[in-house]
Amino acid sequence: MSTLLNEEKDPGAHVAPGEIIEEKEIQIMKKLSRLTFNLIGAALLMLAALPSLVYGQDRGETKATIGKANASIEYGRPFLKGRDPLKMMKPGSVWRMGSNAPTTITSDVDLDFGGTRVPKGKHILLARLAEGGKWSLLVSSKNAFQYEPGAKLAEVPMELREGKESVEQLTITLAEQEGRGVIEVSWGTSRLVASFAPAK
């Protein structure tokens, strides 16, 4: 009895039809598993690329070291396409200073905007047009579409200047000048300038 149990199968022995079917099913399941794995991988790649598809890939970034602060601004860069940026804004409205995803400022230390302390981290930047053509820079916890007074973290004046050359694609620069961070928004011939400092 034990001899029969330990005896190896004869390679030429007859294989039952059920065994052949079972082997084919295993092969099919392996192929399906590989296909499922490939589909999941492709889906993950598409999800990873989704933010770029939604917000567009034309984003700008400007960085500067101001005193002890390492600050950066990230923003969308729309094209002017013959429009007048000043006429697109109505008094009392806020502008996201870019396109698609919000324009943000990031700093590794607290910042001072006009005497108001803004904690380190990432915050949204907006521009507000008041009556009489006066502009101000808003540091906000909400984007332009959700903005309400309670979202304001700080607000400082923005100086409107006239540039010599027209800038077709919106450009924001951040630079250090005499210990302060100077933000300049250029679009068309308009220049909006505001500043801040590292908090003491």
Could you give the CA distance from residue 167 to residue 62 in angstroms, rounded to a whole number?
16
**pLDDT of 40:** 62
Domain that holds residue 44: 15-55
**pLDDT of 101:** 95
Residue 7 lies inside a defined structural domain of this protein? no
Q: Which amino acid is present at 131? A: E
Residue 139 lies inside a defined structural domain of this protein? yes
**41 and 111 together in one domain:** no
**pLDDT of 183:** 98
Residue 165 lies inside a defined structural domain of this protein? yes
**pLDDT of 6:** 43
Q: Do 163 and 85 meet the contact criterion of CB atoms below 8 Å apart?
A: no
**pLDDT of 114:** 97
Residue 3 lies inside a defined structural domain of this protein? no
**pLDDT of 36:** 62
Token code pair at residue 143: 């984007």
Q: pLDDT digit of tens for each residue in the chain (200 aa)?
A: 444 444 444 444 455 555 555 666 677 776 666 766 565 654 444 444 444 334 445 899 999 999 999 999 999 999 999 888 778 888 889 999 999 999 999 999 999 999 999 999 999 999 999 987 899 999 999 999 999 999 999 999 999 999 999 999 999 999 999 999 999 999 999 999 999 999 99
**51 and 81 together in one domain:** no
**135-140 vs 152-177, strand pairing mode:** antiparallel
**30 and 88 together in one domain:** no
**189 and 91 together in one domain:** yes
**165 and 82 together in one domain:** yes
Could you give the CA distance from residue 157 to residue 112 in angstroms, rounded to a whole number?
13
Residue 8 lies inside a defined structural domain of this protein? no
**20 and 94 together in one domain:** no
**pLDDT of 54:** 40
Of 55, 85, 105, the last residue of a domain is 55
**64 and 86 together in one domain:** yes
Of 6, 25, 55, the last residue of a domain is 55
Residue 76 lies inside a defined structural domain of this protein? yes
Domain count within the chain = 2
Alpha-carbon distances, residue 87 vs 39, 94, 155, 160, 188 (angstroms)? 49, 13, 22, 14, 12
**181 and 134 together in one domain:** yes
Q: What are phi and psi of 155, to 5 degrees?
A: -150, 130
**79 and 172 together in one domain:** yes
**39 and 95 together in one domain:** no
Residue 1 lies inside a defined structural domain of this protein? no
Q: Which amino acid is present at 92? A: G
**160 and 132 together in one domain:** yes
**50 and 134 together in one domain:** no
Give the 3-state secondary structure of residue 32. helix
Report DSSP letters for 161-176, one per residue: EEEEEEEEEEEEEEEE
Residue 66 lies inside a defined structural domain of this protein? yes
